[in-house]
Amino acid sequence: MKETAVKTRGLTKRFGTFTAVDRVDLEISRGEIFGFLGPNGSGKTTTIRMLCGLLSPSEGEGFILGMDISAEGEKIREDIGYMSQKFSLYSDLSVMENLKFYSGMYSLGPKTSSSRIGELIKLSNLEGMENELASNLSSGVRQRLALCCSILHEPSILFLDEPTSGVDPAGRRNFWKIIYFLAEKGTTIMVTTHFMDEAEHCDRLGLMYSGQLLACDTPEDLKKELPGHLFSINTENPVTLLEHIRDSNEGIIDAYLYGRSVRILTRGKKLLIPGEMPSEKIKPSLQDVFVHYVREGRKTERNAA
Ligand SMILES: Nc1ncnc2c1ncn2[C@@H]1O[C@H](COP(=O)(O)OP(=O)(O)O)[C@@H](O)[C@H]1O
Ligand SMILES: [Mg+2]
């Protein structure tokens, strides 16, 4: 049995009458890379802030390595790293000065501090940039530095909230190399992202919508669990085709635009549409899974309203 790193039961956060996180049950094993997906405003950051003991739950409970998030926030924070969406480096300090500043925040002694900083500079490829001002760094390098600042104290769990937004593909790949390295060494990682290629590389994914955890599984199983059969049609006029399909068809679970094509999810194995349009039966991508759950979530909301 794998050891549990993060566990929540019915975790809920209300702001006034608005429910930002709605009865979320999560279980993350030690060493797992857990991706947290969901549109803006779906409650990802609020969940993470509760898990870090920075925000108290309105209802439900949560445990980080067995520590209660409602009562042991301070203890939890010693054992976790948190790179928030707004993680701030000091732009008028150099790379080295930022690292030294944060190692002071974690009260690392001078010896530990300098050996740890040396290790992290190497790990994150910041060699030769020690004296650069943070304000002069590219967004990819800045995010790597922010990551180093969040893991100086060797946390056993790391929360990364959209760590690669605004970073170019090469920069994102470099960032993820560090994530893999940390996970291999046993660090548990919970990471939010908008990028499906990044989500694909997580051990498991949680899909949030409107405060609720709609699905939680490995990327492979999420794709397998998508109901029905998926078809793709390439056409000059995808919007017209989409309207036509939505108006006319029985046996269709859902239809939506996907880049320049139309994707159609059907109950039966055959897609029956008028005309001679060639359709191709395809395997769902994570993007399809994501679109499906978000659209289902919206439908449920509309029906409840
Ligand atoms: N302190 C707060 N007071 C009131 N509403 C909040 C507060 N923090 C977040 N929210 C709301 O809760 C919802 C979820 O926000 P958030 O957790 O930041 O979502 P995500 O990280 O998925 O984009 C949003 O509608 C947001 O406006
Ligand atoms: Mg957020």
Cα–Cα distance measured from residue 31 to residue 180, given in angstroms and rounded to the nearest whole number: 10
Ligand 1 close to Cβ of residue 38 (< 6 A) = yes
Residue 193: CB within 6 Å of ligand 1? no
Extended strands (E) in the chain: 4-15, 18-29, 33-37, 59-64, 67-68, 80-83, 157-161, 188-192, 204-209, 212-217, 229-234, 252-258, 261-266, 279-282
Six-digit token string for 120: 């992290």
* pLDDT bucket at 68, cuts 50 / 70 / 90: very high
Query: Does residue 118 line the site of ligand 1, with CB under 6 A?
Result: no
Average pLDDT over residues 18-40: 97
The matching CATH number, chosen from 3.30.1330.20, 3.40.50.300, 3.30.830.10, 3.90.1150.10, for 4-222 is: 3.40.50.300
The answer to whether the CB of 43 is under 6 A from ligand 1 is yes
Q: Are 171 and 125 in contact (CB under 8 A)?
A: no
Cα 195 to chain center, whole Å? 9
pTM: 0.93
- Report how far ligand 1's centroid is from the alpha carbon of 22 (Å): 12
Tens digits of per-residue pLDDT, 230-258? 999 998 889 988 888 888 767 888 999 99
Range scoring the smallest mean pLDDT among 33-42, 57-66, 156-165, 246-255? 246-255
Query: Does the Cβ of 210 fall within 6 Å of ligand 1?
Result: no
- What pLDDT shows up at residue 275? 66
Instruction: Give the rounded percent of residues in the chain with a pLDDT score beyond 70.
Output: 98
pLDDT at 287: 93
* pLDDT of amino acid 299: 85
Nearest CA to ligand 1 atom 6: 15
Centre of ligand 2 to C-alpha 253, Å, is: 30
Q: How far apart are CA 5 and CA 230, in angstroms?
A: 36
Residue whose CA is closest, atom 1 of ligand 1?
15
pLDDT at 183: 96
User: What is the pLDDT at residue 270?
Assistant: 84
- Domains of the chain, by residue range, sit at 4-222, 224-304
Span 187-226, pLDDT tens digits: 999 999 989 999 999 999 999 999 999 999 999 999 999 9
Mutate which of 46, 55, 294 for ligand 1? The one with the most ligand atoms within 8 Å of its CB, which is 46
pLDDT for the residue 277: 76
Counting atoms of ligand 1 from 1, which one is nearest the CA of 43?
17
Measured from the CB, is residue 44 less than 6 Å from ligand 1? yes
The tens digit of pLDDT for each residue in 70-111 reads 999 999 999 999 999 888 899 999 999 999 999 999 999 999
Structure confidence by residue, pLDDT tens digits, 130-166: 999 999 999 999 999 999 999 999 999 999 999 999 9
Within a 13 Å sphere around the CA of 292, how many CA atoms are in the beta-carbon half?
23
Percent of the chain residues past pLDDT 90, beyond the cut: 82
